[in-house]
Amino acid sequence: MKVVILAGGLGTRLSEETEAHPKAMVEIGGRPILWHILKHYAHFGFNEFVIALGYKADEIKRYFLHYHALSSSMTIQLGSGQVRVHDQDREDWTLHLVDTGLPTNTGGRVRRLQSWLGNEPFMLTYCDGVADVDLRELAAFHARRGKTVTITAVRPPSRFGGLVLEGDMVKDFTEKPQIGEGWINGGFMVCEPGLLRYCEGDDVSLETHMLERLAADGQLAAFRHERFWQCMDTLRERRLLQSLWDGGAPPWKVWS
């Protein structure tokens, strides 16, 4: 099953970082967040990726074009220009880096990838969220449900401490709990080719057009994930992810 990653947006809410780099290339632990997402999928055996590019596409292309050389030691003979790369562990990934246009909306980007996807189910996610989702379990759940799309439903972490009140007294205080109600789309979707019937053009939104219509048609299933999930929409969230990485046991690092 191929994995589609939407990596073409402007990332305006993270403008402190994305004025210089595409959001997919903002680093956590010295590696782009896109790399973390690829490692997650590859850990579960999903190694072929179709990456929908747009904003600053050339930077993402350059990173992977030189990925092996830049992540390895090398010997350079300046006189002859000969370069010898000393192999380290190579990532067994196949990457299709596809320009899908600068102004194209999320649904339109998926539509532009149709010729790359064929007539098979595919996975779909964004370039700005990490989690410890069991992706094989997600794929099996999708197959059992038999719907056009399965989304991973998550409960986002609260920004504030939670209070349990009893009259005028605080009965319990929990520092930044998971929200106890309200599920949101955490990305990490599995899609049938029929999804593309819900997209008519470049300006179509995956979220507000396609997924809403799928839900109305009874074709949108939800895989509940109650463990770790965190998006990177703001500088504060980027710093949070960095602090988790620096702590030595980032919860989304399911690979060894």
Residue 125 binned pLDDT confidence (cut-offs 50, 70, 90): very high
* pLDDT band for position 90 (cuts 50, 70, 90): confident
| CATH annotation of 2-246 | 3.90.550.10
Q: Are the C-beta atoms of residues 225 and 154 closer than 8 Å to each other? A: yes
pLDDT at 13: 72
Q: pLDDT tens-digit profile of 150-207?
A: 999 998 877 666 656 677 655 666 665 555 557 889 999 999 999 999 999 999 999 9
From 183, 211, 189, select the one nearest 199 (Cα to Cα): 211
Q: Is it the case that residue 16 has pLDDT exceeding 80? A: no
Residue 137 confidence class, pLDDT cut points 50, 70, 90: very high
Q: How far is CA 72 from the centre of its chain?
A: 25
CA distance 253 to 256: 8
pLDDT, position 162: 64
Q: Are 20 and 14 in contact (CB under 8 A)?
A: no
- By the 8 A CB rule, do 70 and 30 touch? no
pLDDT value of position 150: 96
Residue 211's pLDDT band, with cuts at 50, 70 and 90, is very high
Sorted by where each begins, the domain ranges of the chain are 2-246
Better-predicted residue by pLDDT, 155 or 36: 36
- pLDDT tens-digit profile of 37-89? 999 999 999 999 999 999 999 999 999 998 988 888 889 999 998 988 887 66
Question: What's the confidence (pLDDT) of residue 244?
Answer: 96
- Banded model confidence at residue 20, pLDDT cuts 50, 70, 90: confident
Q: What pLDDT is stored for residue 153 in this prediction?
A: 94
Query: What pLDDT score was predicted for residue 114?
Result: 96
Beta strands in the chain (DSSP E): 2-7, 27-28, 31-32, 48-53, 73-77, 82-86, 94-99, 122-126, 129-131, 149-154, 162-166, 169-174, 184-185, 189-191, 220-225, 229-231
Q: Mean pLDDT across the chain, nearest whole number? A: 90
Residues 209-231, mean pLDDT to the nearest whole number: 94
- Looking at residue 66, the DSSP 8-state letter turns out to be T
Q: Contact at 8 Å (CB) between 239 and 143?
A: no
**What per-residue confidence (pLDDT) applies to 140?**
98
